[in-house]
């Protein structure tokens, strides 16, 4: 494997080109560009350009509408519902977040359900967006069934990420965004691509045996992080993302998917809380004292700091050469009979 260096501006231009040439309208293209470029900027390569071939496959198979106009409705003063209209999630999220933030600032808490959408990105953009408005953000997503509940050997959960952001007045927010599987599926795929092994406990092979071979695990099943407790968190995420939105559980997403390699249809749940409203005006000082104590402990770091440090780097980003070549190919016209989104 070889890597090629690109500036963020070059990455942005490439991503814009690939989505526009595959039938996305301006609004969807811009939301996708923000999503992919911010992942590369922050060093989250498993959610950056790595995902572009999958996005394009879903546009070309017509599973996803690159011109979708998400519909936002306020079902109660605290409940924002977004219908993604079969588009990719980034635009649906961007359209809904301002309403969710308003609700949380007024009531102390708000909840947003996203349905009928295709999520293929990290979750931290949505919770960071809330934190930038001095709100706590919690987001839950489920996905294709690839993780076995604790004690079992058959997949039921998605890798079911949960993201959490805590606002800080004069600092980057505290943010984590983690798969509730022992390892994110994208990371296992990248380990497979790069010929690396993964830690024992990541998953089981097709015969139900522990393995360190990422290929065998991708043919088998991932395990939840943290034993039965992590499995309980994965279950909570599955129920919140699917049960509380009314959208697909992971096994339903698999049934509904066309297996084009892009994201299946599904839902997402986002909760926003205003600490100013729930805890009062002293909340920030109170929490900063806690963060100071946290950071004084040797060997620890607050989640999200590494990503925010990478974000500030002005140097070029390294991109896998084969991936880059593939994306360049995807910018070129395809045969008329599978040309996407021009119907």
Regarding 43 and contact with a second copy (CB under 8 A), the answer is: no
72 contacts 82 by C-beta, under 8 angstroms = yes
229 binds a second copy (CB under 8 A): yes
Query: Is 47 an annotated catalytic residue?
Result: yes
92, 93, 141, 273: which one binds a second copy (CB under 8 A): 273
* Distance separating alpha carbons of residues 66 and 51, to the nearest angstrom: 15
Nearest approach, Cβ of residue 281 and a second copy (Å) = 10
Build a one-symbol-per-residue string for 150-189: x at contacts with a second copy by CB under 8 A, - elsewhere: xxxxx-x-------x-x-------x-x-x-x---------
Q: Give yes or no for a contact between 195 and 154, defined as CB atoms under 8 angstroms apart.
A: no
Query: Catalytic residue among 16, 27, 40, 47, which?
Result: 47
Does 13 contact a second copy by CB under 8 A? Answer: no
CA distance 117 to 135: 24
Could you count the other beta carbons within 10 Å of the beta carbon of residue 322?
Answer: 12
| Residue 275 touches a second copy, criterion: CB under 8 A | yes
Name the β-bridge partners of 176.
Answer: 164
Residue 248 annotated as catalytic: no
Contact set for a second copy, span 60-89 (CB under 8 A): 75-79
Location of structure tokens 């998400």: 70
Residue 221 and residue 155: Cα distance in Å, rounded?
Answer: 6
CA distance 119 to 142: 9
Give the interface segment with a second copy, choosing from 44-52, 122-130, 230-238, 322-330 (CB under 8 A).
Answer: 230-238
Neighbouring CB atoms inside 10 A of 197's CB total 12
Number of chain residues interacting with a second copy (CB under 8 A):
67
Q: Active site includes 207?
A: no
Does position 244 interact with a second copy (CB under 8 A)? The reply is yes
Among 1, 170, 195, 280, binds a second copy (CB under 8 A): 280
Question: Six-digit token pair at 221?
Answer: 């099943």
Q: Which is nearer to a second copy, 76 or 258 (CB)?
A: 76
> 46, 61, 102, 132: which is the annotated catalytic residue?
46
CB 298, min distance to a second copy, A = 6
What does the alpha-carbon distance between residue 147 and residue 277 come to, in Å, rounded to a whole number?
38
Distance in angstroms (rounded) separating the CA atoms of residues 167 and 171: 8
Least distance from a second copy to the Cβ atom of residue 61, Å: 27
- 296/343 with CB nearer a second copy: 296
Interacting residue with a second copy among 279, 305, 310, 318 (CB under 8 A): 279
- CA–CA distance, 85 with 87 (Å, rounded to integer): 6
């Amino acid at each position: 494997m070889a890597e090629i260096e690109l500036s963020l501006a070059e990455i942005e231009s490439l991503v814009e080109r690939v989505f526009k040439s595959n039938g996305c309208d301006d609004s969807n293209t811009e939301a996708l560009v923000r999503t992919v470029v911010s992942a590369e900027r922050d060093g989250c390569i498993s959610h950056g350009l790595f995902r572009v071939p999958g996005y394009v496959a879903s546009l070309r198979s017509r599973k996803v509408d690159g011109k979708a106009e998400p519909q936002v409705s306020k079902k109660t003063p605290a409940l924002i519902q977004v219908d993604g209209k079969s588009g990719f999630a980034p635009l649906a999220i961007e359209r809904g977040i301002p309403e969710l933030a308003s609700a949380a600032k007024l009531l102390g808490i708000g909840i947003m359900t996203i349905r009928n959408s295709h999520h293929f990105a990290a979750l931290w953009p949505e919770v960071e967006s809330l934190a930038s408005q001095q709100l706590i953000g919690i987001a839950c997503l489920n996905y294709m069934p690839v993780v076995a509940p604790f004690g079992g050997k058959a997949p039921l959960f998605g890798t079911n990420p949960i993201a959490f952001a805590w606002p800080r007045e004069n600092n980057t927010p505290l943010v984590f965004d983690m798969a509730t599987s022992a390892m994110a599926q994208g990371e296992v795929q990248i380990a497979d691509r790069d010929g690396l092994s993964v830690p024992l406990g990541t998953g089981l092979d097709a015969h139900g045996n522990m393995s360190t071979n990422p290929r065998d695990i991708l043919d088998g099943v991932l395990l939840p992080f943290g034993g039965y407790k992590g499995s309980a968190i994965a279950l909570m995420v599955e129920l919140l993302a699917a049960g509380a939105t009314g959208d697909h559980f992971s096994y339903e997403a698999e049934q509904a998917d066309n297996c084009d390699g892009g994201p299946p249809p599904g839902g997402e749940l986002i909760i926003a809380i205003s600490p100013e409203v729930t805890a009062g005006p002293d909340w920030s000082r109170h929490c900063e004292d806690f963060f100071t104590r946290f950071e004084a402990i040797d060997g620890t770091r607050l989640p999200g700091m590494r990503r925010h440090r990478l974000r500030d780097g002005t140097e070029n980003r390294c991109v896998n050469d084969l991936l880059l070549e593939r994306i360049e190919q995807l910018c070129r016209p395809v045969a008329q009979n599978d040309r996407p989104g021009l119907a």
